[in-house]
Amino acid sequence: MRKLLINTTALATVAGLAASVALADVSIKATHETAFIDKDSEVAANKGDYQTSASEVIFSFSNKTDNGLTISYNAELNSDTGTTAANRIDESYLSISGGFGKIVLGQTDDAADSYALDSGDLIAEEMNTGKTNSATISTTSDIALNNDDSKIAYHLPAMGGFTAGISREDNGTSAAANTETDIISYGARYALDLGGLPVTIGAAQTKQDTAVGTKQTSSTNIGIKAVYGNISAIVSRGGYVAADENRSNNGIAASYKMDNGITIGVHKTDSADSDDLNEKYTNQGIEVQYAIASGLTAVLNMENYDYDAGTSDETTSDDGSITKLTIKAAF
C-alpha cells in the first residue's frame, strides 16, 4: 500500500510538472551568416580580403500567470568570429509585462537601443568601418554607449503612437565612490500619419558616470523615418561626448523594396570631432539584398570611405573602399 502511494504521488508530481511545462510557450530560432570581404585601404594592415561568420541561437520561453501577467525569458547564444567562451551567451534576460508596461531584468541592450532611429537601420549589413583601428571618431549616428551587461529596464505601455523606456546599469561600489561608472539610458518614439504618410520620430540618450571633475560620457540620437509604399527613408543625427571627445554625426539612407525579392538601399554618413581640429569621416555606399528563398538571403554591399585624422590621437589618415558579400539564413 505504501509503495502504491509513493508511486501514485510520483506520477502526480511528474504530471504536475508536465502540465506546468505545457503552459509555457517555447520557441527556438537560429540565424547564420557568412561574409566575404575585400577591402582597399591606404593602411597596409587593413588592406586585403578575408572571411567572417556568425551564428546565433535564440531560446524564448513565455508564460501567462493567473493574474494576467506575461513572464518571458530569452537566452541568445552566439558564435561570431572571435567569440570566446566568456561571452558565448550574448543576452540572457527576464521580462514581466502587463497593463503597467514591461520590466526587463538581466543582460540585454540599454533602453535607448529600442528607441534610437539611425540611418543604418535601413541597411541590412551596415559596415561604416572607415579607418578600422580608429577609436576617436563616430561612424554612425546610433547610440554609441550600449552593451549587454546586467541592468533593469522599464518600458511604458504604448499610448497611441507614443512609446518610451528607461534603463539603469549599476556597476557597483568601487574603492573610490567617485569612480563608479553607472549607466542610465532612455528614449522615446512617436508614430503618426501625415495624410497617408507614416512617420516615426525617435530620440534617445545614454549617460555614463565618470570620476568627479571629469566630463561625463554621453551619447545621443534623434531620427525621423518616413515610409511611402515600398520606399523607406531615415534622416538621423547622433552625438558623443567624453574626455577629449565631442563628436557629431549626420546620416541619411533610403531603401526600395521591389516585387521580385530585391531590395536596394543607399546611405551616406558624415562625422566630425570638434575637440580634434579637422578630424572627420565620410562614408557612402549602396546595398542590394536578394531573397533567394524563404529564410535565405544574399546581400551585396559596396562602400567608399574617407578618414582624416586631423589633430586627434590617431596619426594615420585613410581612405578606401569595401566590397562585402553576405549569405544569411534564418530558421
For the stretch 294-310, pLDDT in tens is 999 999 999 999 999 88
Strands 318-330 and 262-273, by their bridges, are unpaired
Q: Which of 208, 253, 218 is nearest to 238 (CA)?
A: 218
> What mean pLDDT comes out for the span 203-223?
87
Place of cell 571627445: 245
Residue type (1 letter), 236: S
pLDDT at 14 over 50: no
> What value does the mean pLDDT of the chain take?
87
Alpha-carbon distance 65 to 295, whole Å? 33
Of residues 78 and 271, more confidence is placed in 271
The CATH topology of domain 26-330 is: Porin (2.40.160)
CB 221 within 8 A of CB 117: yes
Q: 141-197, pLDDT tens digit by residue?
A: 999 888 888 999 999 999 999 999 999 998 765 555 555 688 999 999 999 999 999
pLDDT of 313 above 90: no
Quick one: cell of 218? Answer: 554621453
What gap in Å lies between CA 52 and CA 164, rounded to an integer?
A: 36
245: which 3 cell numbers? 571627445
The mean per-residue pLDDT over the stretch 59-81 comes to 91
Per DSSP, which regions of 79-230 are E strands? 89-98, 101-107, 150-155, 162-169, 183-194, 197-208, 217-228
Question: Helix or strand or coil: residue 19?
Answer: helix
User: Does residue 259 contact residue 287 with C-beta atoms inside 8 Å?
Assistant: no
Contact (CB, 8 A) for 126 and 120: yes
